[in-house]
Amino acid sequence: MSDLPRILLIGSDGQVGWELRRTLAPVGQVIAASMHGHAGPPIDLLDASSIRRVFNDVEPDAVVNAAAYTAVDRAETEPELARAINADAVHVLAELCADADIPVVHYSTDFVFSGDTDHPYRETDEPAPTSVYGETKRAGELALLDSAADALVLRTAWIYGVRGRNFLLTMLNLFRERTELRIVDDQVGTPTWSRMLAEVTAQVMHAVFTGAVDIKQVRGLYHVTGGGAVSWYGFASAIREATGNDCELTPIPTSEYPAPARRPPYSVLDTSKFRATFGLKLPDWRHSLALCLEDLPQQPAPRA
């Protein structure tokens, strides 16, 4: 029988959850739950009784919730489904963790802000979501922050990695298929490698379990992203350069790439509170991109 604390990881088959299964393994006994139950017990986030049943069966010492409805544009036509996963399920977890007196880590998003600014957002800045996705993620934040649970809500942004659907993998596929691409250049944020986010989460959980930090003193909201800032066009250009592709990139305004959900034009998050509280470094996005690309299978040579 393991003496390690039991960590209930929800959303273990997502791109962040997949990394968390690995980074949390040295910290605790990870019980991975997901909608499909590929790695552990199935959990239906649309059913409160399913959430409670899995929680009671696992009897966790902590919960890490990496599950979310992240289809930003589709959420505009599926608001009830987005709210059920991003807010209602989180409310159930908040109650369970508060009653059990255990910590819970939850991830949120830069979409809780309007983006109508020119300075990095701090945790004290007032959210003003302009999309269903952003609204439901904000509701999930409040479900935890307004509860009695010892919650760490980690806002992040522009997640990418070697799995799932994300900007990096989309660009690599398009570079192989096309000779020219038009990329939005007036939305600015910070690319965040899913593994880096998982690694700092594991560091934080280790500090909590060992008593290096008092969860009741540090509970609350934190911004966690890579360092620096860049536009989508700049990010695409960096990927192209790092992979030796010759696809021609043209910067365009958001107005030339309309989408159902409004994107924040500027959503850089100030991470100084997280770094000061936990004593952790958040590498520049360029450094993380280089490391992530080393994990990808060898890319085919660019077309002649």
pLDDT digits (tens, 9 = 90+) for 108-137: 999 999 999 999 999 999 999 999 999 999
Mean pLDDT for 44-50 is 97
Q: Which of 69, 133, 160, 222 is catalytic?
A: 133
Domains of the chain and CATH, by start: 6-163+191-226+267-282 (3.40.50.720)
Query: Is 133 noted as a catalytic residue in this protein?
Result: yes
Burial of 150 (0-12, 13-18, 19+ CB in 10 A): buried
Burial of 192 (0-12, 13-18, 19+ CB in 10 A): buried
pLDDT at 40: 76
Task: Write out the H or E segment, with its range, that includes residue 243.
Answer: helix 232-243
Name the pTM for this structure.
0.95
pLDDT, tens only, 218-246? 999 999 999 999 999 999 999 999 999 99
Binned at pLDDT 50, 70 and 90, residue 1 comes out as very low
Q: Report in angstroms the alpha-carbon separations of 61 from 20, 40, 248, 262.
A: 16, 17, 51, 39
Mean pLDDT for 281-289 is 97
| Residue 304 in this model has a pLDDT that exceeds 80 | no
Residues whose CB is less than 8 angstroms from the CB of residue 237 and which lie 6 or more positions away in sequence, other chains included: 249
